[in-house]
Structure 1
Amino acid sequence: MATKKDTKAKKNALLIVESPTKVKAIKKFLGSGYEVAASNGHVRDLPRSTMGIDIEHDYEPKYITIRGKGDVLAELRRQVKKADKVYLATDPDREGEAISWHLCSALKLDEADGKVQRVTFNEITKNAVKEAMKHPRDIDMNLVDAQQARRVLDRMVGYEISPILWSKVKRGLSAGRVQSVALRIIADREEEIDSFIPTEYWTLDVNLGVTGEKKPLVAHYYGEGNDKKDISSKEELDAICKDLKGAKYTVSDVKKGERTKKAPLPFTTSTLQQEASKSLNFATQKTMRIAQQLYEGIELGKEGTVGLITYLRTDSTRVSDEAVAAANDYITSNFGEKYLAEGATAKKSETKIQDAHEAIRPTYVDHTPVKVKDYLTRDQFRLYQLIWRRFMASRMAAAKYETTAVKIDAGKHRFTVSASKTVFDGFLNVYTDDEDQIEKNVLAKSIETGTTLKFESFDSAQHFTQPAPHYTEASLVHDLEALGIGRPSTYAPTISIIMARHYITKENKSLYITELGQAVNKMMVEAFPQIVDVNFTSNMEALLDGIAEGDVKWKTVIENFYPDLDKAVKAAEEQLEAVQFEDEVTDEICDNCGRNMVIKYGPFGKFLACPGFPECKNTKPYFQKIGVECPKCGKDIVLKRTKKGRIFYGCIDNPNCDFMSWQKPAKEKCPKCGGVMYAKSNKLVCGNSECGYIKENNK
């Protein structure tokens, strides 16, 4: 039986969340015994005007109230005074743990007196919230310290290195512990693409008539017998075709088999960002913003506000038993028992940082996309549908294919045909991607070993090997995760920052480094190689995980990092004393005041500006000559940029001359065909694909 004191405590409980959009729903779940308020995210942070870290006194951070949060804190203090119990229900991750800790300090709450406790829930549903309230705990200082360490490390890097970028490149630029590595990864890929030299190869298909069939069977050249052979030139192709003249085409082997395609895992933050980018063309930042809306709650008519998905920042593919049971019931009812997965579909997490969470999944499987569509915006619906389908697919049986592999011999040469057909669609019933081709090249039933086929014609084609593709947001997130750079919460802001700084630009889906990005990356690689080293950054993430797990002291990580950074900064300042990217005087005369104009960096790269600013504000485009004549008109080739900042080479006489190239043209012409040669790493390559001339570039 509850005492009067217990009853009073329940009626005077205050629960603090991060987002105001959660307040209404959670208040409804908890009832009249609770007040629910929001902190609107972080309330304290390091100051903007100084580093905010006391280097001389054990690297202690100096936190201040964030500007604009005074009124929020004043209201929270007023509510805390009236409450007998305070529950801190900020987001269930390191960042949320740190916000709860900062709230304790800002609101003068003392965990020792038993008045304040921490609660976390992975989804905004009545059951999840009520269950969380049964298991309050103390603030996890390991998670807080991991967040503090990340914040302090990032502040040190930004505060120490950014001023060097301001003085040597352009004011307003920034360096970051993770963003600088991401920029380097993109820059390295661009360099790899620019230096790639294509290799010629040919494909040969034969069209064969099958008795009783209207359509010919298309077989692909394999090689000689069991030895696979690539066709590297037209001469080789002609020799093979000549050798095959009059040959008899006979099926030498037919092998049937079965292939299964496993259901995909439910989404993690990384895989959701990748799939939303590929399938929906969403930027990572947009994906996270919309997922946040779905997590915090959508007004579903009479149901009120309902959180449609679980927490969106997670590395885990784990799913609760309750969610598995609900999914299994839905699949059995709507598809039949044969569509149920045989066992659990979950991947063991390689990191432990977010494994307390589940995968990203719908909170209620009965909230089908069709059922909630009318309450969602178009983009909310598309993302929710992707999450719902992916989760349901993860609980479904594998797809099964019947495969057939055919070998066709003609003299010493061999051609092959492979085909597959779906015998059970399994999870493909609800979820497919570009790689899921249900039917491929269905074979005629009359094909069997010993069958003679009639030659009809050859189809041949010339190809060239392709370089690695330009990064997209999806592939960059994939590689950042694979390399251990950053964490789920950092991918979207990292990409957004380097895009906002104009270090990279996006055209269609591809990411390209800008001239400004090249300048920043060059300086970072030369002056701060450790900061932009992938392995160093990955090892630092592992140390942050160690802090979160209680195995490493966060001050130890800081005190081992800062002296090396400080030393590198001092060395860079000395080394870069003579380096000057801006204010290089040119022969170009200002039309307004007659001064010699200087080169400066703008958001998209170099431009000419009058040194008499602000009295004279004249600017001009800067066209950097590369010392090569235009192959079309003989005038100068200059370095140019697209409207979004991507670098290319074009004729200075544009629009009268339309020559342009993404590759840098060379001075000399091809000695073999007279075509344009392009500089690729230490080689010069003819741009005429039919020529293919290559020579060493001694520069």
Structure 2
Amino acid sequence: MYKSLVIVESPVKAKTINQYLGDKYIVKSSIGHVRDLSSNQAKKRKNSKYSFSEYYEKKILIQQMGINPYKNWNVEYHILPGKEKIIEELKKIANTVDYIYLATDLDREGEAIAWHLKEVIGGDSSKFIRVVFNEITQHSIKKAFQNIGQINMHRVYAQQARRFMDRIVGYMISPLLWGKICRGLSAGRVQSVAVRIVVDREDEIKNFVSKEYWKLNINLITSKKKNIMMEVTHYENKILTLNNKKQVNIMIEKLKNQSFFITDRKDKILYRKPTAPFITSTLQQASSLHLGFSVKKTMFLAQKLYEEGYITYMRTDSCFLSSYAIKKARNYIKYFYGAHFLPNIPNIYLNTKDAQEAHEAIRPTDITITTIDQDKINSDAIKLYKLIWNQFIACQMKPEKYKSIIIKVIVDKFILHASENITIFSGWTTVKKKLNLIQNQFEDLIVSEALFLKKILPIQTFTNPSPRFNEASLVRELEKKGIGRPSTYASIITKIKDKGYLKIQNKKLYATKIGRILITQLKKYFTDLVDYDFTARMEKKLDQISDNKIFWKNVLNVFFKNFLKQFEQAKKPSEEGGMENNTIILTDINCCNCNKKMGIKHAITGVFLSCSGYNLKSKDRCKHTINLISSNDFNFIKKKYVTKKEIKRKCEKCNIIMDDYLINKNLKIYICSNSPTCIVYYIEKGKFDSPVYLSKKLYCEKCKNHMLLKTGKFGKFFMCVNQACKNTRKILSNGKVSEPKLEPIPFKDILCDKSDTWFVLREGISGIFFAAHTFPKSRETRSPFVEELAKFKHLLPTKLHYLADAPKIDEKGNKTIICFDKLSKKQYIASKKEGKFTGWSAFFIKNQWFISKKS
């Protein structure tokens, strides 16, 4: 009989912890949250029977939200769908044990899960014990169970306050946006601020006026034939400013016949300290920079590493390291790198003001594990682990020591400078394998030494706006402004991308038109909601609730009172000062179906032209639309960006740069960036470059009907006009239309292993694969072996014959299997032995197979 029940969130975490606890414990997983605010699907469906005004009646609104802000924040929780069996099992075990250890994560969300578990299991409250640990290791688990405690209700209150505010914003503003702007829109207390950051940067870039300036570099040669590149920095004791080619030519003429001598040389010994160990935001940024991982992928992989016991908890804003961890790192450095790499005292890193000191930075749990076996965890997780390992070891090493040499040349009225850094002691950069590619150019130079002119190099440059955000830099900006917390960064970015407010091109974030409209309206009618300082102050208040410095319901009351005042004004008709409606902007273009005027419409899928007869009664209704292609999207496809000197069209009313869209090869439309508030537009006729997908008509490969260009949540695509067919073809990043999808091919002679079914060959985003023919009843899938495709080559389309002709075995007789390269988007083959990849692979290049072996 078990005497104690331990509950964690994750099955993987449960499995890992179970290894370290004895027979007196049974470890079970809740698989995340078990309870949430009432909002089941039945209640959501009731929305359809309410009109816009009826929905906002107090009784109905409270029913939908599951909380009552008018009655001391009474709340109604419900068990999440699918968690009933889990709760039933936990209750059954709980009745047989003496103690119940709630070992959920150590952040506010984990504290709330622990409290919900206690509430739903019920029974004697003295049986429940809270236990937290920063890492899943035997050392940490043992220590945690020796330092048990109770649920921290103040942290639970902070989580509830955040959840209640988010629920109010989402459930009250979203229907308003649906009615005023377009269906599918929603607002979030923190997500909307993140969208605003990108929108503000978008406006800055769009309206940035680039200015020309020049740099003047001089290539000089020493007596020993060494090349020295120097920059002309001053003229007549002022910083040299060159704005055009004419000024540059004047300076070149003055420098041509001068004699150059080294006037001054300064040598300094400098130190570059290692950076702090990773916190959540810096890990996301480093992972993006060095590994190319998205924020969501980074956190997913970090979660796996944590649950498997390889790293400490990955949601933290603290640079603190335990003395135990520092001691282990110092011993490792001394043994493997040498005592001369070890500082006399450990390196200590200061936290930001709001960081939680009790948490540790992200580090390896066992410093002796330098890499992980690929059989235990996937290759991307291994790369992330190595990044964390390197950062942790480096942060406890001595600084890099280098000599900085600055050379100065004064000639006539000009001052030239050049500098070089020479590494003396690599220090922490040894771990990062940082290399200085150019060294010792200046080492032998002395004052008064003659230098000989080889070439004057004028460099034309233009000022640039601030760069676009990528996911990692957006996280850095959120952190800088005090918006969000480590546990929320990934979900914030994921939500605003999925909603269509941002799009990603070449890993950069662009605000969509509907995202800009949303922020414009929220800035006007819900100033607090998208105010940077207000959101940051609210985060601090949540921290104060956690620390029992302020009462949580007081914070909610103040928030709701101010929010309600703004909300009541926004929901009024626009003519009474309420939120403006997203009205159609009529143009001079006639509908080709009914000859009515076409109008500019803004929706969550983008900007398009719609017939003004769309909203008429069914008899006269016309559903004709014309897709508009943004020049930004087209320029990205062509990789031909607008030149700095190009003059962009401005709105005559707002005096801001207009958005331009291609209607067809002969028509372009310019729309004010402030549309639909501003109705100014211009139509330009001419011959314009157009994307590849507009160059010819496309026919459906299934039913031979025409295919029309459509715009969806994830971009533009072609759809068959035959509604019964429903065939689609996506548009690739290069502007070309994707190849037709492979129709499922039955392989009735190849049976599934896990069910009494047979396989069909399908094609997905990761190439071809076998799937059970009874999908989704049976979800069994696997990659085909080459020998299987070769045996049934007659079933395959011609485009897949090359795979059937690939080598069936490697040189050691191991069978080969079909694989997919995510970077090149091409199929290749690899061999397996006893279910594991051998390192042998082959690639199809120029109509033949080339074999590659792992070194």
Q: In the alignment, what sits opposite 2:96?
A: 82
Q: In the alignment, what sits opposite 2:440?
A: 442
| Paired amino acid for 2:175 | P
| CA–CA distance in structure 2, aligned partners of residues 191 and 402 of structure 1 | 43
Q: In the alignment, what sits opposite 1:244?
A: 255
| CA–CA distance in structure 1, aligned partners of residues 669 and 581 of structure 2 | 32
Q: In the alignment, what sits opposite 1:98?
A: 112
Number of positions where the alignment pairs a residue of Structure 1 with one of Structure 2: 627
Q: In the alignment, what sits opposite 1:679?
A: none
Match of 1:547 among 521, 535, 545: 545
Q: In the alignment, what sits opposite 2:84?
A: 70
Is contact 2:210–2:462 with CA below 8 Å preserved after alignment? yes
After the TM superposition, which residues 4-43 of structure 1 pair with which residues of structure 2 at under 5 Å, given as runs? 11-43=2-34
Give % identity: 37
| Paired amino acid for 2:316 | T
Is contact 1:61–1:152 with CA below 8 Å preserved after alignment? no
Is contact 2:185–2:604 with CA below 8 Å preserved after alignment? no
Is contact 2:672–2:681 with CA below 8 Å preserved after alignment? no
Alpha-carbon distance, 1:624 to partner: 9.7
Q: In the alignment, what sits opposite 1:512?
A: 510
Q: 1:15 to 1:351 in 2, by over 3 A?
A: farther
Is contact 1:353–1:545 with CA below 8 Å preserved after alignment? no
- Helix, strand or coil at the partner of 1:218: strand
Instruction: State whether structure 2 residue 55 is matched by structure 1 residue 44.
Output: no
| Paired amino acid for 1:438 | N
| CA–CA distance in structure 2, aligned partners of residues 37 and 617 of structure 1 | 59
Cα deviation code 1:62-110 (max 9, x no counterpart): 2221122111111111111111111100111100001111111111144
Cα deviation code 1:111-167 (max 9, x no counterpart): 3xx211100011111111111111110111111111111111111111111111111
Is contact 1:16–1:38 with CA below 8 Å preserved after alignment? yes
Is contact 1:316–1:359 with CA below 8 Å preserved after alignment? yes
Q: In the alignment, what sits opposite 1:4?
A: none
| CA–CA distance in structure 1, aligned partners of residues 219 and 330 of structure 2 | 48
| CA–CA distance in structure 2, aligned partners of residues 34 and 612 of structure 1 | 69
Is contact 1:422–1:439 with CA below 8 Å preserved after alignment? no
- Helix, strand or coil at the partner of 1:550: coil
| CA–CA distance in structure 2, aligned partners of residues 431 and 70 of structure 1 | 49
| Paired amino acid for 1:402 | K
Please identify, of 460-469 and 227-236, the stretch whose mean Cα deviation from structure 2 is larger.
227-236
| CA–CA distance in structure 2, aligned partners of residues 197 and 591 of structure 1 | 40
Q: 1:662 to 1:245 in 2, by over 3 A?
A: farther
After the TM superposition, which residues 531-610 of structure 1 pair with which residues of structure 2 at under 5 Å, given as runs? 531-574=529-572, 576=574, 579-581=580-582, 601-607=602-608, 608=610, 610=614
| CA–CA distance in structure 2, aligned partners of residues 539 and 46 of structure 1 | 25
After the TM superposition, which residues 55-204 of structure 1 pair with which residues of structure 2 at under 5 Å, given as runs? 55-111=69-125, 114-204=126-216
Q: In the alignment, what sits opposite 1:691?
A: none
Q: In the alignment, what sits opposite 2:472?
A: 474
Is contact 1:595–1:611 with CA below 8 Å preserved after alignment? no
Structure 1 residues without counterparts, runs of 5 or longer: 1-7, 298-306, 632-636, 640-646, 670-699
| Paired amino acid for 1:372 | D
Is contact 1:97–1:143 with CA below 8 Å preserved after alignment? yes
| CA–CA distance in structure 2, aligned partners of residues 234 and 582 of structure 1 | 49
Q: 1:44 to 1:407 in 2, by over 3 A?
A: same
- Helix, strand or coil at the partner of 1:430: helix
| Paired amino acid for 1:322 | Y
Q: In the alignment, what sits opposite 1:683?
A: none
Using the size of structure 2 for normalisation, the TM-score is 0.69
Structure 2 residues without counterparts, runs of 5 or longer: 45-63, 632-641, 643-647, 651-657, 675-679, 685-855
Q: 1:598 to 1:108 in 2, by over 3 A?
A: farther
Is contact 1:353–1:548 with CA below 8 Å preserved after alignment? no
| Paired amino acid for 2:100 | V
Q: In the alignment, what sits opposite 2:406?
A: 405
Q: 1:268 to 1:624 in 2, by over 3 A?
A: closer
- Helix, strand or coil at the partner of 2:572: helix
Instruction: State whether structure 2 residue 222 is matched by structure 1 residue 231.
Output: no
Q: 1:102 to 1:582 in 2, by over 3 A?
A: farther
Is contact 2:182–2:604 with CA below 8 Å preserved after alignment? no
Q: In the alignment, what sits opposite 1:634?
A: none
| CA–CA distance in structure 1, aligned partners of residues 541 and 579 of structure 2 | 37
Alpha-carbon distance, 1:412 to partner: 1.7
Q: In the alignment, what sits opposite 2:779?
A: none
Q: 1:612 to 1:332 in 2, by over 3 A?
A: farther
- Helix, strand or coil at the partner of 1:312: coil
Report the RMSD for the aligned CA atoms in angstroms: 3.1
Q: In the alignment, what sits opposite 2:496?
A: 498
Q: In the alignment, what sits opposite 1:345?
A: 347
Q: 1:77 to 1:443 in 2, by over 3 A?
A: same
Is contact 2:660–2:668 with CA below 8 Å preserved after alignment? no
Q: In the alignment, what sits opposite 1:311?
A: 313
Alpha-carbon distance, 1:310 to partner: 0.5
| CA–CA distance in structure 2, aligned partners of residues 346 and 378 of structure 1 | 32
Is contact 2:234–2:415 with CA below 8 Å preserved after alignment? yes
Please identify, of 229-238 and 535-544, the stretch whose mean Cα deviation from structure 2 is larger.
229-238
| CA–CA distance in structure 1, aligned partners of residues 20 and 416 of structure 2 | 67
Alpha-carbon distance, 1:657 to partner: 8.6
Q: In the alignment, what sits opposite 1:257?
A: 268
Q: In the alignment, what sits opposite 2:332?
A: 330
| CA–CA distance in structure 2, aligned partners of residues 544 and 141 of structure 1 | 13
| CA–CA distance in structure 1, aligned partners of residues 21 and 617 of structure 2 | 62
| CA–CA distance in structure 2, aligned partners of residues 405 and 167 of structure 1 | 65
| Paired amino acid for 1:12 | K
Match of 2:307 among 296, 301, 320: 296
- Helix, strand or coil at the partner of 2:65: coil
Cα deviation code 1:206-262 (max 9, x no counterpart): 12121122x421111111365432222223222222222321111110111112111
| CA–CA distance in structure 2, aligned partners of residues 572 and 422 of structure 1 | 62
| Paired amino acid for 2:348 | A
User: Is the helix fraction higher in 1 or 2?
Assistant: 1
Please identify, of 615-624 and 438-447, the stretch whose mean Cα deviation from structure 2 is larger.
615-624
Is contact 2:628–2:661 with CA below 8 Å preserved after alignment? no
- Helix, strand or coil at the partner of 2:359: coil
| Paired amino acid for 2:483 | I
Using the size of structure 1 for normalisation, the TM-score is 0.84
Q: In the alignment, what sits opposite 2:677?
A: none
Q: In the alignment, what sits opposite 1:676?
A: none
| CA–CA distance in structure 1, aligned partners of residues 466 and 579 of structure 2 | 37
Cα deviation code 1:288-332 (max 9, x no counterpart): 1110011001xxxxxxxxx11100100111111111111111111
Q: 1:222 to 1:638 in 2, by over 3 A?
A: closer
Alpha-carbon distance, 1:376 to partner: 2.6
| Paired amino acid for 1:484 | G
Match of 2:280 among 269, 277, 281: 269
| Paired amino acid for 1:19 | S
| CA–CA distance in structure 1, aligned partners of residues 112 and 630 of structure 2 | 52
- Helix, strand or coil at the partner of 1:652: strand
Please identify, of 23-32 and 543-552, the stretch whose mean Cα deviation from structure 2 is larger.
23-32
| Paired amino acid for 1:278 | L
Q: 1:441 to 1:205 in 2, by over 3 A?
A: farther
Instruction: State whether structure 2 residue 351 is matched by structure 1 residue 360.
Output: no
Q: In the alignment, what sits opposite 1:677?
A: none
